[in-house]
Amino acid sequence: MESEIFNQHISRKFNDELESLRTQVSNMGGLVERQLANAIEAIVTADSELGLSVASKDYEVNRMEVEIDEECSRLLATRSPAAADLRLIVAVIKAITDLERIGDEAQRIGILAARLASEERPMDRYDEIKNLGEHVQEMLNDALDAFSRLDVEDALKVVEEDKLVDSEYDTIYRQCISLMIEDPHTIRRFMDVSWIARALERIG
């Protein structure tokens, strides 16, 4: 009887640890979402300070990845999880790696946004970049939501959206090439725009 009670206690504690792990991933995802949103806003509003702020906060994303990864390693070593629990921990490790990479891309966008703020802005105020950015933000939000609910169908819908992101990126890239050919003085500006679009495509 004592052994059964002890095992129930251990099981309950492990479930609490797994739930805490999922909460940590959600918190990291929320931070990455804010970083991405601010990076896109910095482009659209030509806000150099906001862009540099995004770049300077990337260390917070990296710190959270390290902390969650260490917790995953601890659970693998001390709990010897099997089946669904093991799959969840492995999924968390993969998810935080991708979130850290998204943070890196947001940092890159922030730096480029700060540089673009000092350049002459096109008439459309980077509407195409804004649209692509909003699409990618929606994908990230939906992916995190599907992960938190472990919803397979919604997760697969996010995967399908990547085709549209690729198409939007191709359109922006071709426009940048055309504009650089028309006016060589804009080469640096539209090279930066194309790199931003590429970063957004990678996030998608």
pLDDT in tens, the chain (204 residues): 544 544 554 688 999 999 999 999 999 999 999 999 999 999 999 999 999 999 999 999 999 999 999 999 999 999 999 899 999 999 999 999 999 999 999 999 999 999 999 887 776 778 999 999 999 999 999 999 999 998 999 999 999 999 999 999 999 999 999 999 999 999 999 999 999 999 999 999
Distance in angstroms (rounded) separating the CA atoms of residues 11 and 149? 21
Distance in angstroms (rounded) separating the CA atoms of residues 153 and 130? 28
Q: What is the dihedral of CA 62, 191, 124, 115, to 10 degrees?
A: 50
pTM for this one?
A: 0.90
User: Closest by alpha carbon to 147, among 16, 11, 2, 24?
Assistant: 24
